[in-house]
Amino acid sequence: MNQTSPRGIVRSGLDAAFEADEARKSNLILRARVLRDQQDDEGASQHFAEAAEIEASLGDRCDELGLVQKSLIHRFSAASCWAHAGNFHQAITMCDELLARELPERLRRDIQEFAEILRSRRARLYAQLSLVGANE
């Protein structure tokens, strides 16, 4: 097993099962994007949610091995997948958990901006839902 990927992220201690889960997660994301492009929002959401769960698990496994950088990547990806699945609560929760950690400044800014976008979109959704309820 390689100690680092071509981009320099440490992968020591990760086994073939981990790599298989990474591949499965990547395939789910690709399939979700295709489904979204085909306007199958339900199918896309389901695939994104499954990918999010795998990403979170990969992040946990990286934390157990002390692979902090790789863990952060998987956790931020999990937050993104939850957002694409339509689960703003889980996405924002994951962002907040990441922001509670020590992070490189650029990553911190990216996560903060992403969480702000999610909060704004959630607020618009709530406003739209309130209008629907008022019209009934």
CATH class of 16-134: mainly alpha
C-alpha closest to that of 118 among 101, 98, 102, 132: 98
Across residues 116-136, what is the average pLDDT?
Answer: 85
Q: What percent of the chain has pLDDT over 70?
A: 90
- Asked whether residue 2 carries a pLDDT value surpassing 80, the answer given is no
pLDDT in tens, 14-56: 889 999 999 999 999 999 999 999 999 999 999 999 999 999 9
d(CA 90, CA 81): 10
pLDDT (tens digit, 9 = 90+) per residue, 58-75?
A: 999 999 999 999 999 999
Q: In the chain, where are the structural domains located?
A: 16-134
51/79 Cα distance (integer angstroms)? 10
